[in-house]
C-alpha cells in the first residue's frame, strides 16, 4: 500500500476515534503538512526519518518497505492490543475509504468540511492538538479538560510500561 494512503487512513481512524470516544487509538503526534494531516511518529517510522527514537522491533518485524513509496505487512499480526470497538472502527474506515487513491485522500483531508483542524502550513508543519479535534467534534470545555487529563495519564503509563 502507498504509505501516504496508509497515513491518511490512519489519521482518519484517529480523528474518528477522538470524535466518537474522546480518545485516540494510536496516541501519536498530529501535524498539518502540505499534503494534509499526518501521524508524525508513524510517518517517521515508515520513511526512516526517526531522529529522536528508533522504530520498535515490532514495527520492523511487521511493516516492511516495499519499493520507494509503499509498505506491506510482512506477516499478519494479532490485534490483541486493540479492543473490539477499535477493530470495528478500522474496518469501517477501510470499507469507506480503502478504495480511494492516496491523491483522493489528500484532497478529502484538505476539505474543511471533513477535517476542519487541518491548516495549510505553507511549506512547513503545524501541530494539530487533540483539543482542537475535540472542540471541532462538539465536546464541551469541561469534557475536553477531563479527556486531556485522562490522555496524559494514559500516555505516562504507556511510557512507563513501554507499551
> Span 25-39, mean pLDDT?
93
Q: What is the pTM of this model?
A: 0.85
Q: Does residue 86 contact residue 25 with C-beta atoms inside 8 Å?
A: yes
pLDDT at 102 over 70: yes
> Span 58-67, mean pLDDT?
66
> Span 26-37, mean pLDDT?
93
> Span 17-44, mean pLDDT?
92
Q: Does residue 9 contact residue 97 with C-beta atoms inside 8 Å?
A: yes
> Span 103-109, mean pLDDT?
96
Give the pLDDT confidence score for residue 50 in this predicted structure: 62
Give the pLDDT confidence score for residue 122 in this predicted structure: 94
Amino acid at each position: 500500500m502507498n504509505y501516504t494512503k496508509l497515513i491518511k487512513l490512519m489519521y482518519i481512524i484517529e480523528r474518528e476515534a477522538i470524535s466518537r470516544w474522546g480518545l485516540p487509538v494510536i496516541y501519536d503526534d498530529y501535524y498539518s503538512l502540505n499534503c494534509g494531516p499526518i501521524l508524525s511518529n508513524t510517518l517517521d517510522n515508515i520513511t526512516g526519518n526517526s531522529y529522536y527514537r528508533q522504530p520498535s522491533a515490532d514495527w520492523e518485524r511487521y511493516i516492511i518497505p516495499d519499493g520507494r513509496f509503499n509498505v506491506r505487512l510482512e506477516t499478519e499480526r494479532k490485534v490483541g492490543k486493540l479492543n473490539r470497538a477499535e477493530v470495528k472502527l478500522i474496518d469501517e474506515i477501510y470499507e469507506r475509504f480503502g478504495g480511494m487513491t492516496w491523491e483522493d485522500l489528500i484532497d478529502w483531508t484538505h476539505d474543511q468540511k471533513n477535517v476542519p483542524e487541518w491548516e495549510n502550513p505553507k511549506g512547513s508543519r503545524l501541530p494539530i492538538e487533540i483539543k482542537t479535534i475535540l472542540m471541532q467534534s462538539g465536546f464541551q470545555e469541561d469534557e475536553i479538560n477531563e479527556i486531556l487529563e485522562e490522555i496524559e495519564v494514559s500516555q505516562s503509563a504507556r511510557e512507563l510500561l513501554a507499551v
